[in-house]
Each structure stands twice: as structure tokens, then as C-alpha cells.
Amino acid sequence: AELGCAEAQSDLGQACMGGHGVTQSFTDALRWTTLAAEQGGRRAMHNVGAQLMHAAQMQYGAIDIPGKSPIPRVLRWARRAAALGELRAAGEVVQLEENIRATCSHCRKQASASKVMAICSKCKAAAYCSKDCQNANWKAGHKKDCVDTAEPLNLIG
């Protein structure tokens, strides 16, 4: 892994996540898995998303807190993995995008046939029922979470 082998980095990341043969460390898991993902490992890209979701859930008790949400980065990695043929990631992209479009990211109002949510044009991982909700959510922390889908992928976003 230290020599740059993406498969070894991905495997070490998974071992660190579960504490299998190494000390369990979410930080090390994310570091190693991200290194593998940045080299184009589609399985690692999928796993980075899972690790980000797990870390947010463990640290904050939720994944959708503005300013602490991993969802834009998760979706960004999943989209990249899906584009490279990772079928599990493709399924997750569909599920996440459906969930995003169903509810306003700020006020939690449900979408309906008469009310289609507007999607964040930068990350495409947040939806809003109004411009007021979009502005309020941006100020509440989405500006920290939002990642440009056109930018090179990295963990920091």
C-alpha cells in the first residue's frame, strides 16, 4: 500500500475500517481508500462514499446536517465509480438522487406532482422547494458541503 498499489491501498482501507489485522481507524481507512480511489479504483470510489456516510453517522448521528453532510462528496465519488462500471455505485446514485429530489434539503417539504424541487447546480446533491430555502441552506452550511462535479475528485472537496 505504501508503494502506491491501488488494490493494496483499497484492501488496507477496508481492513482499517473493520479492524481486521490492524487497529481499527476510520481516519486511516478513509486515507487509504481515498488514495486508491484517486488512482481510479472504482471499488475504492464506492467504498470512500460508504466510509464518509458511516463517519458522519457516527460523529453527528445524521448524514444531512448542513455544513457536515458527506452527501455531495459521496454522490460525486459514486457517480465516478458508476461511470467506470461499478454496479453497486450505480444503484446508490439512483437511490440517493431519488431521495434528494423527494425532499427540500432545508425545510424538508416533500416534492409533489405540482412541486418539483430545484437541484443545486454545483453539486447536484441538494434540492430546494424555493429560492429562500436554497439561500437559507447555503448559509446554514451547504456552502461547506457543496462540491463542483466538474472539479477533479479529492476527499476535501
What gap in Å lies between CA 6 and CA 115, rounded to an integer?
45
Asked if 48 and 7 touch (Cβ cutoff 8 Å), the reply is no
pLDDT at position 62 is 94
pLDDT at position 156 is 40
pLDDT at position 31 is 95
- Residues near 131 by beta carbon (within 8 Å), at least 6 away in sequence: 118
b/e per residue 90-115 (b: at least 16 CB within 10 A): bebbeebbeebeebbbbeeeeeeeee
pLDDT at position 116 is 86
Q: Give residue for cell 459514486.
A: 78
pLDDT at position 157 is 39
- Across the chain, which has 157 residues, the per-10-residue mean pLDDT values are 92 93 94 94 92 93 94 93 92 93 95 90 94 96 88 48
